Amino acid sequence: MIAIDLAGQVAATGLESFSDLLNGQSEVEPEIEINDRDLAMIIYTSGTTSRPKGAMHCHLAVVMAVMSNAIEMKLGRDDGITGQFPLFHCAGHVLLLSYLSVGGRMALMRGFDPVVCMEAIVRDKLTVFVGLSLMYQAILDHPRRGEYDLSGLKTCIYTMAPMGRPLLERAISEMCPNFVLSSGQTEMYPATTMSQPDRQLERFGNYWGESLIVNETAIMDDDGNLLPRGQAGELVHRGPNVMMGYYKDPKATEEARKFGWHHTGDLALIDEHGEVLFLDRKKDMIKSGGENVASVKIEETLLAHPAVQNAAVVGLPHPQWGEAVSAFVKLKPGATADEAGISEHCRKHLGGFQVPKFIKIVDEMPMTATGKLRKVELRQAYSEHFAKKSA
């Protein structure tokens, strides 16, 4: 292991220091042939529905994605972005390269802290904030929020999870007028789609926006047929930012590239405006009593409850229904609510087959290092819940 010595403590660890290796080296780059299709890196998926897999990307994918982001986000050398996402994640990695490519800057952070973020925005004159919905909530609710002038922000990007309507309206009003939802995945060196800020208050929900210039986006059925607008199916992409394949996993690679397109595993449709509307992960679609129930629809309803900070909905094995809609919620700090009240809230806004048959308030949600919900852990931990009740 070779350490990059940021804190001046490498000597005490006994590791080699990267800076020491540079001493005495030539400043002239060696002549090494690197082709655009050569392997550049392996980035691992978050593992929200299964074990993480290594997505192999070539140099062309990186360069084309970075160029696309610079154009779509209208980046210039005066732009700066918050950097609280880990750089081993595709989002943090591509954002860093995108800003460096135009001579911009990123304020690197060791994780998310609302005060540290606000300080960096003011100190480094940052123009873009990118974060999860929970990060925006934490900043807006922080008691020291009024101490920091965030008017220099020209764009706020949220990603990886939807933002409830009350929070989005408040964030646009109090933090920044231009909000966009950007989407992608590790297998498609991001981003792949992006919403437009002028439409944020026109259509609420999981609207991922339009396909970016780097890739094509379509909806496909199980037989490989591309579907017209308004019909639901699997979201597929093709373009130079598609991965070369999964590391040492040819079977999964073949499955992901059927019919000449990359299969995301997301269920979606493209509406009459040409925007992608995300419906659910294929693995998260709950089949209950003969009905297909989208977990994301129920999560949006739960997040609209004034006491709920985070929500995860899964299907748990049920002797009668096949799968039972089950919800796990984390409350906002200082908020009070009970399962019965949350269930009543759901009954007011959802169809009877969508209302969770089991609601549990939890202290913490299982999360990945990048802030994604680990639903697989919830399914495993509570897989016997209804079997025990019937017994």
For residue range 288-306, list pLDDT tens digits in order: 876 778 888 899 899 999 9
Q: How far is CA 47 from the centre of its chain?
A: 12
What does the pLDDT read at residue 239? 97
**pLDDT values of the chain reduced to their tens digit, one per residue, 391 residues:** 899 888 888 888 889 999 889 889 998 988 999 999 999 999 998 765 567 899 999 999 999 999 999 999 999 999 999 999 889 889 999 999 999 999 999 999 988 999 999 999 999 999 999 998 889 999 999 999 999 999 999 999 988 666 778 889 999 999 999 999 998 899 999 999 998 888 888 877 778 899 999 999 999 999 999 999 999 999 999 999 999 999 999 999 999 999 999 999 888 999 999 999 888 777 788 888 767 788 888 998 999 999 999 999 998 988 888 889 999 999 999 999 999 999 999 999 998 889 999 999 999 998 877 677 888 889 889 988 988 776 5
Interacting residues of 61 by C-beta distance below 8 A, sequence separation 6+? 40, 189, 240, 241, 242, 243, 244
**Dihedral sign, CA of 165, 167, 172, 178?**
negative
Closest Cα partner for 184 from 229, 214, 146? 214
pLDDT at 31: 92
Q: What is the pTM of this model?
A: 0.77
pLDDT of residue 197: 87
Establish whether domains 34-281 and 285-390 are of one fold. Answer: no
Choose the CATH number for 285-390 among 3.40.50.9100, 3.40.50.300, 3.30.300.30, 3.40.50.20.
3.30.300.30
pLDDT number for residue 61: 96
The confidence score (pLDDT) of residue 159 equals 83
Q: What is the pLDDT of residues 93-120, one digit of tens each?
A: 999 999 999 999 999 998 899 999 999 9
Pull the structure tokens for residue 248. 């040492």
What's the pLDDT score for residue 132? 86
- Residue spans per domain, the chain: 34-281, 285-390
Rounded Cα–Cα distance for residues 243 and 256 (Å): 10
CATH fold for domain 34-281:
Rossmann fold (3.40.50)
Q: What is the pLDDT of residue 48?
A: 56
Interatomic CA distance for residues 362 and 273, integer angstroms: 39
pLDDT of residue 322: 83
Edge-first strand order for the sheet with 245-246 is 39-44, 54-58, 245-246
The owner of tokens 């804190």 is 7
- CB distance 67 to 100 below 8 Å: no
